[in-house]
Every structure is written in structure tokens, then in C-alpha cells.
């Protein structure tokens, strides 16, 4: 190692994800010890094993407090551009009811703790990630947002998880372009302070943020938004004239209002139905929609003429009673220009229960269909598939994924009868066990 060029050694050290590994390298070599001070990031995560040892009467006295280790590591660096500190995932799963913990050594959004290290490194700090220990942070209110806004004039990216955050004293921070708040109790019930003090956000992730009543996102520069609400607010509003990608998960809102004229990719999942109030999405091409009440949602949706790629699902569906239109017809009414359609298992089951397509109408423009099948009744499944084939004259590709628990002879029957019924199509076959939609928002379609 001592024979390698110093820039290469520094590059190797900089690529170590765990700053604890860097500290161990410093002890092993004078060269490494000298060069390590040039590293510009600290990444320290508390493991479950370390936490357990710090609580055990047999090992507690030999364990250096986690905050003390962090202080030492960050004080050894000349320039700090990135800080990531938190608890490991297994420790993050520890429930408050499972442990009585009055300690604060893993209360990492503690203002006093942050103020002890931040002023010395804030001049070059561009990225901060804090993953708190919920057992210690959930009952301790933190003003750490105002501390970062006051000290970090070059901060571009901020991520905080598992904490109770206040917006008292929060001041505008125009350098911040990416904000992630995950499993947060937030004292900003309508998101007014977030929108006001972080006006230049381009990426916003609010995952499981509680305490919201009538939240409104109003951000001029926002391009990507992932918003998962943990409660049922009265109304939800998004005003983002430059928004391109939106992933929204909500629970029975009375009103959903969206103004995002350049929205191109939209992942929407919610329970129940709501009153949609949207301006026309003339650029929306990719849409995923999931609802426990899919049929009523489709009836209430406005017309989406620009959607080309559509994925729908219904996690809990019931056999429709007294209906005259199938899910397929409702989809094509709301999305008349779609050319690629995916029906996940719930949506397909609902269509299979009522596969009526009115008259002999030919559906033009639909080029590709992808289905996720459970095949509880092979005859009903085949009948529904044939109904689609008879009404889609422009169809060129049919992809079918059959649940892996379906017996092989049933799968063979479906494949042979489908290919015989319509040999002109390009058929694609596969198996599925569970829906893999988590990467949908980041992958090209």
C-alpha cells in the first residue's frame, strides 16, 4: 500500500462506505493515517450488535459511545462535504414497545449533538443524511431543520429519517435541491414552511410523514416527487409547474388537486375514491394507477388523452354487481390513446369476472397488452383473453405472466390455446410470484 501513488490511495479510502473501516486503516499505516485526513465524507452507521453490547451489563463499559466516535472521526478531517450518520436497518426495526430506553446516545437529530459538530464543517457541507433511532427520537422534538438552514449555505441534499421535526426558526435555504423526510412526525401540518423555506427543491421525498391535515406542495422548480402519506388528510394539493415524475400514495383524501402541466410519469395509489381536480396533463405518457376501489375511480377520472403506457391494479376487488361495462371499457374511456396496457393480477381478476366488451367495436391503437394471471378457473381465464383478442385489431404483442403456483398442465393449456387462437401475435410468456413495481418510477418504460 505504501508503494501506491498517494492520489490512488486516497481514492481507495474515499470509496470505503464505512468510516469505521477508514479508522481501522489509519491505525494500520502511517501513510493511510496521513492521507485519511483528506477524505471529504463521514459515513457511520450503528449496528444492532453494537447497540446490544452498549446495553449489556457485561460489555457496556467497554463500548465507546456512538456519538463520541462520530465526533472523533469528523474532527480528523480538514474538509467535509458529505455526512451520513444513522442506525442500521435491523436496529431501525426495534419497536418502542419492545424496549425501555431513556438514553439519548442514538438520538442523532438532537440539536445539541448537531451543533457540536456542524459549525466546524458547514462551510463545505453539501449533503447530510441522518437516520435516527425511533425509540429515542419519537418522543423528543427536534429543531434540527432550523439549525441546518442557519449554518449550511452550500447544502444541496438533506435526508432525515425516523424523527419528530419542528419547523420553528426555519429560514430559507435556497441551495437545497433535494429533501427526503422518511417516517417523520412533522410539525408543519400544511407543508407551508417546507415550501416557503426550500423554494429551489428539484427532488422531494416525503415517505410516511405524519401530522398533515391539508398539505400543499407549492414548488416552482420541483421535477421529481415521491409522496407517501401515512394518515388521511382532508385534501392534497400539488402545484409544481416543472414536475416531471410523481409517485403519490394516499389514503381516502376528500380532494386531490394537481397542477403539473409537464407531468410525464405518474404513479398513483390510494384507498377508496376521491374528488379529482386536475388541469389537463398534456405531457403525461406513463401512468400507474392502483386503488382498492378501482371501478369507481375509473368512472370519476377525467379524460387522459396523452397516456400511452398504462398499468392498473386493484389489491382488493369484489365481483361487480349490476354493472354494464367491464374494467377494460372503463380504462379505454379514460385513456383513449393508450398503446401499451398492463393489467396486474387484481385488475385482471376484476375484468375476468365481467369481461363484457360492448358490441363488436374494434379497439384501435392498442399495440401491446401485458397480463398477470392467477388462473383460478382456466375456462374463465381463456374466455376473458379471447374477448380481448377479438376486440383489439391492432394488437401486435401479448405478454402473459402466470402465477408460479399454477400447475404445469393448466399453464400448458393456456399457452397452447392462446397461441392457436391468434398465431399472428408475438406471444411472450413468464411466471410471477409477486408484483415487482417498486422500480417502475426509476426505470424507462
Q: What is the pLDDT of residues 135-159, one digit of tens each?
A: 899 889 999 999 999 999 999 999 9
Assign domain 285-445 to a CATH class. Answer: alpha beta
| pTM for the model | 0.86
Q: Long-range contact list for 209-213, CB < 8 A, 24+ apart?
A: 209/181, 209/182, 209/183, 209/184, 209/185, 210/184, 210/185, 210/186, 211/185, 211/186, 211/187, 212/186, 213/189
- Looking at the predicted structure, is the pLDDT value of residue 322 above 70? no
pLDDT in tens, 151-184: 999 999 999 999 999 999 999 999 999 999 999 9
**Mean pLDDT for the chain?**
84
Q: CA 6 to CA 199: how far, in whole Å?
A: 41
pLDDT grade, residue 254 (50/70/90)? confident
DSSP 213: S
SS3 111: helix
Residues 6+ away with beta carbon under 8 Å from 151:
118, 119, 122
Comparing 235 with 132, which gets the higher pLDDT? 132
Q: Structural domain boundaries of the chain?
A: 1-39, 285-445
User: Mean pLDDT throughout 378-394?
Assistant: 89
Which of 301, 266, 302 minimizes the C-alpha distance to 283? 266
By the 8 A CB rule, do 161 and 185 touch? Answer: no
Q: Give pLDDT, residue 33.
A: 53
Residues 6+ away with beta carbon under 8 Å from 267:
246, 247, 248, 287, 288, 440, 441
C-alpha cell at 150: 442557519
Which of 49, 69, 70 minimizes the C-alpha distance to 59? 49
Q: Give pLDDT, residue 439.
A: 40
Q: Give pLDDT, residue 245.
A: 97
Let me know if 436 is exposed, middle or buried by CB neighbors in 10 A (0-12, 13-18, 19+).
exposed
By the 8 A CB rule, do 175 and 200 touch? Answer: yes
Amino acid at each position: 500500500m505504501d508503494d501506491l501513488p498517494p492520489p490512488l490511495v486516497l481514492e481507495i479510502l474515499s470509496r470505503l462506505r464505512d468510516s469505521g473501516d477508514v479508522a481501522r486503516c489509519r491505525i494500520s499505516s502511517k501513510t493511510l493515517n496521513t492521507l485519511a485526513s483528506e477524505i471529504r465524507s463521514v459515513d457511520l452507521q450503528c449496528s444492532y450488535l453494537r447497540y446490544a453490547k452498549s446495553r449489556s451489563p457485561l460489555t457496556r463499559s467497554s463500548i465507546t459511545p456512538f456519538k463520541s466516535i462520530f465526533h472523533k472521526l469528523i474532527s480528523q478531517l480538514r474538509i467535509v462535504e458529505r455526512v451520513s450518520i444513522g442506525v442500521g436497518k435491523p436496529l431501525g426495526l426495534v419497536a418502542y414497545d419492545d424496549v425501555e430506553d431513556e438514553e439519548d446516545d442514538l438520538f442523532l437529530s438532537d440539536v445539541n449533538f448537531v451543533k457540536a459538530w456542524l459549525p466546524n464543517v458547514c462551510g463545505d457541507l453539501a449533503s447530510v443524511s441522518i437516520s435516527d433511532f425511533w425509540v429515542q427520537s419519537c418522543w423528543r422534538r427536534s429543531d434540527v431543520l432550523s439549525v441546518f438552514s442557519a449554518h449550511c449555505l452550500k447544502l444541496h441534499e438533506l435526508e432525515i429519517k425516523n424523527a419528530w421535526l419542528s419547523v420553528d426558526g426555519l429560514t430559507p435555504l435556497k441551495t437545497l435541491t433535494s429533501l427526503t423526510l422518511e417516517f417523520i412526525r412533522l410539525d408543519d401540518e400544511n407543508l407551508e414552511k417546507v415550501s416557503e423555506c426550500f423554494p429551489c427543491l428539484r427532488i422531494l421525498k416525503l415517505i410516511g410523514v405524519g401530522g398533515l391535515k391539508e398539505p400543499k406542495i407549492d414548488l416552482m422548480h420541483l421535477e421529481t416527487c415521491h409522496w407517501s402519506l401515512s394518515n388521511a388528510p382532508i385534501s392534497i394539493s400539488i402545484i409544481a409547474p416543472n414536475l416531471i415524475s410523481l409517485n403519490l400514495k394516499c389514503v381516502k383524501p376528500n380532494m386531490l388537486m394537481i397542477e403539473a402541466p409537464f407531468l410525464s410519469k405518474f404513479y398513483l395509489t390510494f384507498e377508496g375514491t376521491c374528488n379529482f381536480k386536475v388541469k389537463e396533463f398534456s405531457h403525461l405518457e406513463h401512468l400507474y394507477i392502483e386503488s382498492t376501489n378501482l371501478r369507481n375511480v375509473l368512472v370519476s377520472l377525467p379524460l387522459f388523452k396523452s397516456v400511452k403506457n398504462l398499468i392498473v391494479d386493484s389489491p382488493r376487488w369484489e365481483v361487480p354487481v349490476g354493472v354494464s361495462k367491464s374494467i377494460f371499457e372503463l380504462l379505454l374511456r379514460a385513456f383513449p390513446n393508450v398503446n401499451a396496457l398492463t393489467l396486474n393480477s387484481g385488475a385482471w381478476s376484476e375484468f375476468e369476472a365481467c369481461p363484457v366488451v360492448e358490441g363488436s367495436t374494434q379497439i384501435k391503437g392498442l399495440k401491446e397488452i401485458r397480463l398477470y394471471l392467477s388462473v383460478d378457473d382456466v375456462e374463465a381465464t381463456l374466455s376473458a383473453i379471447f374477448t380481448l383478442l377479438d376486440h383489439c385489431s391492432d394488437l401486435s404483442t401479448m405478454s402473459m405472466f402466470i402465477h408460479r403456483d399454477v400447475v404445469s398442465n393448466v399453464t400448458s393449456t393456456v399457452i397452447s390455446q392462446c397461441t392457436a387462437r391468434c398465431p399472428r401475435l408475438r406471444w411472450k410468456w413468464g411466471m410471477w410470484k409477486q408484483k415487482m413495481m417498486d422500480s417502475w418510477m426509476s426505470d424507462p418504460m
